[in-house]
Chains A and B, each alone.
Chain A
């Protein structure tokens, strides 16, 4: 791929704006709350776009395009079966507890609802997960710079990490959130022309239908058996593993995204944040999955569209989008497309690093190391943690090199952390008899079960470090199954232990448990301010799309 002066100018302009936002916001950062929580003063339209943009990192843009080429339209289940319904559940049922409890983070909610040990365990696993996710974004960005700009992989990693560090260090969470919104528009507007040109080149919709195998153009056909669909999964693990456990686990308990809603100006805005975000989310497959399907159609009709191999000799699906950009975009708009990719990786990385520094500062440092220090002290700790988070991300970026689909790797990480955590939240928020000891041991058992299942099974040569009792058709299928198994174990152990251990007094659970919390009255609100109406619109559109692409 050969870039020209115009392309470099657009990339340079973007870096200038990103750093400019950080420098501009530096003046506004005076306390730890400003740096780590944006002082809970961000307007609704910004929190909503930041909510989906925080997830619009490498896993979304590069990973979903890779999965589009690998699994076809089945990949849309991540949106139309998983994300959208989970976002509706978060907005309608869970946000009142997060926002109403005044917790500054998801682990802090666990402390209020249960106890310190459950919070600490979650803080540790979440911190590890954000570093993994951040490292994956960094890896993807370095791969792109290596392929597109011809930079050395190692140099690319350090340069990319340096830029993210600069603007998150200067402007904290607000800088990350503001850049996420700029990045959202850049990603959508920068990749949309590629879809338009690609569909034209592939011979329109008819050309795509004629040149892509039918199994990759449906959502539900062939779901009866793992052998009859491209994702190699069955209906149970798809619906329960992805649609319920993984999606709800990620969107409802992952502090990275929940944090964007928690910095809203009031509870109604916090509830509407995921619901408004769900509307553009429904249509994101057009930008991130369809390019993968377009590549399949082009491969069938033309030469030069073959994907390269990775260092393990496997087809590198992660190169789907960079390959399409290089083949279909002329210089000029190519610079915008490359900048959109860079933006997505930086957005994903910055989102994870800002969530990491909040959780580390409040849930590990303040609660265990230095509880009663000044705001200035915590501000400095937050800034130092940002640097540490970036350095740890660099290490994990090298680990990510061994996987041929970064999306598979991420789903695996989520199945270890988010899947059992969702069981803890479900019981904690909706069952007042759930006890602190039940939650802790359930969470520990669920996470251990995820590790054990991974060690006893294999998929695409990964896992099975103890023994190989079962081989899954794909890494995705393995992650879905680990997710529902770890969720179930956590749920059962938590409920069982709760029957025999001491529960918290009801007066301490007001605002934290559904049955003990007064409901927000929405009946008299105009429709666009009423979460129930917004949720209904989102669900109707999503169900319609599932039927349309059956």
Chain B
């Protein structure tokens, strides 16, 4: 629960969830126009999310609210 007071962790979790949703959608709905846009965007979001979450584990005391 304490982790949720670190904004980087919260941002990471948000983009991870959005990225996973988009990734699943891009594979389950290939008939949508330009499915590759969803796929590449999801990969980018997940990568960004992982970086934010990893950064939250390397925190200084003042980074936490």
**Residue ranges of A at the interface with B (Cβ–Cβ < 8 Å):** 6, 9-10, 13-14, 17, 21, 24-25, 28, 41, 43, 46, 174, 178, 181-182, 185, 189, 193, 197, 265, 329-333, 336
B11 and A181 within 8 A (CB)? yes
B22-49: which have CB < 8 Å to A?
A: 22, 25-26, 29, 32-35, 37-38, 40-41, 44-45, 48
Instruction: Give Cα A13–Cα B16 distance, bound, in whole angstroms.
Output: 12
Known: A24-B4, A28-B65. A332 touches B11 (CB 8 A): no
A13 and B18 within 8 A (CB)? yes
B10 and A17 within 8 A (CB)? yes
Instruction: Give Cα A471–Cα B51 distance, bound, in whole angstroms.
Output: 54
Inter-chain contacts of B14 with A (CB < 8 A): 13-14, 17, 182
B65 and A333 within 8 A (CB)? no
Inter-chain contacts of A178 with B (CB < 8 A): 7, 10, 65
A330 and B32 within 8 A (CB)? yes
B44 and A336 within 8 A (CB)? no
B54 close to A (CB within 8 Å) = no
The residue from B22, B26, B33 contacting A336, defined by CB atoms under 8 A apart: B22
B57 close to A (CB within 8 Å) = no
Known: A6-B21, A330-B34. A25 touches B11 (CB 8 A): no
Chain B residues touching A, range: 20 to 34
CB distance from A108 to the nearest CB of B (A): 25
B58 close to A (CB within 8 Å) = no
Instruction: Give Cα A272–Cα B57 distance, bound, in whole angstroms.
Output: 25
A193 and B41 within 8 A (CB)? yes
A197 and B10 within 8 A (CB)? no
Instruction: Give Cα A333–Cα B41 distance, bound, in whole angstroms.
Output: 8
B10 and A21 within 8 A (CB)? yes
Inter-chain contacts of A41 with B (CB < 8 A): 62
Give the most central of A174, A193, A265: most B CB within 10 Å. A193
Instruction: Give Cα A17–Cα B17 distance, bound, in whole angstroms.
Output: 11
A330 and B35 within 8 A (CB)? yes
Instruction: Give Cα A527–Cα B37 distance, bound, in whole angstroms.
Output: 39
CB distance from A318 to the nearest CB of B (A): 25
A189 and B22 within 8 A (CB)? no
A332 and B26 within 8 A (CB)? yes
CB distance from B46 to the nearest CB of A (A): 12
B48 and A333 within 8 A (CB)? no
Given A46-B7, A330-B35, A331-B25, 16 additional A-B pairs, CB 8 A: A6-B21, A6-B22, A25-B65, A181-B11, A185-B11, A189-B15, A189-B45, A197-B34, A265-B62, A330-B33, A330-B37, A332-B25, A333-B22, A333-B37, A333-B41, A336-B41
Inter-chain contacts of B45 with A (CB < 8 A): 189
Q: Residue on A with the closest CB to B63?
A: A43
- For this complex, 17 residue pairs linking A to B, each with C-beta atoms less than 8 Å apart, are A10-B18, A13-B14, A13-B21, A14-B14, A21-B10, A178-B65, A181-B7, A181-B11, A182-B14, A193-B37, A193-B41, A329-B37, A330-B32, A332-B25, A332-B26, A332-B38, A336-B18
CB distance from A39 to the nearest CB of B (A): 10
The residue from A9, A13, A174, A332 contacting B65, defined by CB atoms under 8 A apart: A174
Inter-chain contacts of A197 with B (CB < 8 A): 34, 37
B17 and A13 within 8 A (CB)? yes
Q: Residue on A with the closest CB to B44?
A: A189
A182 and B18 within 8 A (CB)? no
Instruction: Give Cα A182–Cα B11 distance, bound, in whole angstroms.
Output: 6
Inter-chain contacts of B7 with A (CB < 8 A): 46, 178, 181-182
Inter-chain contacts of A174 with B (CB < 8 A): 65
Known: A181-B11, A189-B15, A189-B45. A9 touches B4 (CB 8 A): no
CB distance from A393 to the nearest CB of B (A): 26
Inter-chain contacts of B41 with A (CB < 8 A): 193, 332-333, 336
A182 and B10 within 8 A (CB)? yes
Instruction: Give Cα A178–Cα B11 distance, bound, in whole angstroms.
Output: 10
Instruction: Give Cα A306–Cα B62 distance, bound, in whole angstroms.
Output: 50
CB distance from A22 to the nearest CB of B (A): 12
For the complex of A and B, 9 pairs with smallest distance between CB atoms: A332-B38, A330-B34, A6-B25, A332-B25, A330-B33, A330-B32, A333-B41, A17-B14, A332-B22
Inter-chain contacts of A9 with B (CB < 8 A): 21
Inter-chain contacts of A336 with B (CB < 8 A): 18, 22, 41
Inter-chain contacts of A21 with B (CB < 8 A): 10
CB distance from B26 to the nearest CB of A (A): 7
Instruction: Give Cα A182–Cα B7 distance, bound, in whole angstroms.
Output: 8
Instruction: Give Cα A364–Cα B37 distance, bound, in whole angstroms.
Output: 51
CB distance from A155 to the nearest CB of B (A): 26
